[in-house]
Amino acid sequence: MEEKLLKILKELRPEVDFTRETRLIDEDILDSFDIIALVGELNDTFDIQIGPEHLLPENFNTLSCILDLVRKLQAEG
């Protein structure tokens, strides 16, 4: 799952090192257009439904936060 996610992120923003960044939202590395594009890909790839209520900095600041969100939503089914 991590590899798939990294591939999506790399495609979205090739210049960002997602394995190192810890403040993707707080430092505006990902802007709101990136977030919407990312959510679209995540929904399609992992068959989940990310809603506006999930779009919080703590869910998108790091690679592992995004992974946690995807896992949580998959578990909720």
Partner 1 sequence: MPVATFSFLLFISATLLVYFTVPRRSQWIVLLVASYVFYASAGVKQLLFLVLTTIISFSAGFLLAGVKNKNKKKFILASALVLDFGLLVFLKYYNFAASGINALLAGTGFALPVFKLLLPLGISFYIFQSAGYVIDVYRGKYPPERNIARFALFVSFFPQIIQGPISRYDRLAPQLSASHEPDFDRLKYGIQLMLWGYLKKIIIADRAAVLVNTVFADYMNYPGSIAALAVLFYCIQIYCDFSGGIDIIRGIAQMMGIDMVENFRRPYFATSLADFWRRWHISLGGWMRDYLFFPLSLSRPFYRLGKRTRRLFPGKLGKIIPTSLASFIVFFVIGIWHGASFKYMAFGLYNGNIISFSIIAAPYFTAFLEKIRIDPQGLPWRIVQIISTNFIVFIGRYFTRGPSLMAALRMLKRTVFSFNMQALRDGTFRTLGLSGFDLFLIVAGCFIIFLVGFYQEAGVEVRKALERKNWLVQWALVMAALAVLVFFGIYREGYIASEFIYQQY
Binding residues for partner 1, rule: CB under 8 A, are: 28, 31-33, 35-37, 39-40, 50-53, 55-56
User: Closer CB to partner 1, residue 51 or residue 77?
Assistant: 51
Q: Cβ 62 to partner 1, closest distance in Å?
A: 20
Q: Cβ 52 to partner 1, closest distance in Å?
A: 4
CA distance 18 to 74: 22
What per-residue string of b and e applies to 7-45 under the rule 16 or more CB within 10 Å gives b? ebbeebbeeeebeebeebbeeebbeeebbebbbebbeee
User: Closer CB to partner 1, residue 2 or residue 4?
Assistant: 4
**10 Cα distance to chain centroid:** 11
User: Closer CB to partner 1, residue 21 or residue 43?
Assistant: 43
